[in-house]
């Protein structure tokens, strides 16, 4: 992500966060933004429609309003209309990322991206949340990513920190220690 996109996305994220915080709906708005990002970036036809220069901004806004009003809150629909109007829908993933970071900091939450060889059940997610929450002194939201390239164990990323408890990571560290001892 370019720094200009990050700055612009962050500004929009701060604005929508302030509205959500005033309404006491920060986590609900986060879920709505996730749904909007999924809807507007995963379907090729929607992406082509939104990015088409031959379709007027007004027509795009009308489609968004008609299809999302009642499904998403007014502030989120208004934000999407504004992004369409300004030709900035390409920043939606970065906007969501910034929003999650901003709301997480404000609420004392951190997101742990947990890489495992299988999908974690709710009890396992809770255990990871408790263990790493105590470690970083924050409430942890667990986002599980299945990574079949891992031999076993897990890797956890919180912010800029990687906690590598994967079998391949342990083997790599063991190999490095053998090399140091051989010198």
pLDDT at 118: 92
pLDDT at 132: 92
Rg of the chain in Å (alpha carbons): 20
- Taking the domain 109-182, which CATH number applies? 3.40.30
d(CA 126, CA 134): 12
Q: Where in the chain is the domain with CATH 1.10.520.20?
A: 3-104
The residues, any chain, with a CB within 8 Å of residue 81's CB and separated by 6 or more, are 61, 64, 65
pLDDT at 182: 67
pLDDT at 176: 82
The residues, any chain, with a CB within 8 Å of residue 110's CB and separated by 6 or more, are 104, 136, 138, 139, 140, 141, 158, 159
What is the enclosing helix (H) or strand (E) of 105? helix 92-107
Q: Where in the chain is the domain with CATH 3.40.30?
A: 109-182
Contact 114, 120 (CB under 8 A): yes
d(CA 78, CA 90): 16
d(CA 72, CA 76): 6
pLDDT at 34: 92
Kindly give the confidence (pLDDT) of every residue in the chain, 183 residues in length, as a single tens digit, with 9 standing for 90 and above: 567 888 999 999 999 999 999 999 998 999 999 998 988 888 888 888 888 889 888 888 888 888 888 888 999 999 998 998 888 888 999 999 999 989 988 888 888 999 999 999 999 999 999 999 998 888 998 999 999 888 888 899 988 888 887 777 777 777 887 777 766
Q: Which pTM does this prediction carry?
A: 0.68
Give the fold, CATH level 3, of 3-104: Peroxidase; domain 1 (1.10.520)
Q: What is the DSSP letter of 85?
A: H
Nearest residue to 160 (alpha-carbon basis) of 119, 115, 113 = 113
């Amino acid at each position: 992500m370019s720094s200009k996109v990050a700055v612009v996305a962050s500004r929009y994220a701060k604005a929508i966060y302030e509205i959500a915080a005033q309404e006491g709906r920060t986590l609900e708005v986060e879920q709505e933004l996730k749904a909007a990002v999924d809807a507007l970036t995963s379907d090729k036809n929607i992406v082509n429609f939104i990015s088409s220069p031959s379709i007027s901004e007004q027509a795009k806004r009308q489609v968004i309003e008609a299809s999302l009003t009642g499904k998403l809150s007014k502030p989120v629909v208004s934000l999407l209309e504004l992004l369409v109007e300004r030709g900035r829908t390409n920043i939606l993933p970065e906007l969501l990322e910034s929003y999650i970071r901003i709301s997480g900091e404000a609420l004392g939450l951190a997101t742990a991206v947990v890489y495992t060889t299988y999908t974690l059940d709710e009890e396992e997610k809770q255990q990871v949340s408790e263990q790493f929450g105590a470690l970083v002194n924050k409430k942890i939201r667990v986002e599980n990513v299945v990574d079949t390239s891992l031999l076993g164990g897990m890797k956890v990323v919180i912010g800029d920190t990687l906690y590598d408890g994967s079998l391949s990571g342990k083997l790599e560290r063991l190999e490095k220690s053998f090399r140091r001892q051989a010198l």
